[in-house]
Amino acid sequence: MSFQLRGGWRCQFLEADLATSLPRVFNFATPDKVIALSDLVSRQALYTAIETGRGGVFLSLTGEQYAKLRAGPRPAPQR
C-alpha cells in the first residue's frame, strides 16, 4: 500500500510487482486508519512517513481482502 497526504490520506494498493495498481483507492481524513492497516513491525517507519506526508508499507491481506481490492470501487448507492 502506498499513501500520500493530498486533501486527506489517499491510500493506493499495488500488486506484488509494486508497479500495477489495484482499482480500489481509499481516502481517509486522518492518518489513524492508515496506521490501523499496518502491522506493529512497520509502525515506526509508518509514523516517519506520515510526518513526511507520503510513504508506503507492505500489508498481509487475506484472500477476501485482496479480492475486494481487485474488484474496484464499490457501486454508488442508488437513489
Sheet arrangement for strand 21-28: 21-28, 9-14, 2-5, 54-56
Contact 28, 9 (CB under 8 A): yes
Q: pLDDT tens for residues 5-38?
A: 998 999 898 888 888 999 989 899 998 888 887 7
How far, rounded to the nearest angstrom, does the alpha carbon of residue 12 sit from its chain's CA centroid?
Answer: 5
* Amino acid, res. 50: I
Taking the complete model, does pTM exceed 0.85, yes or no? no
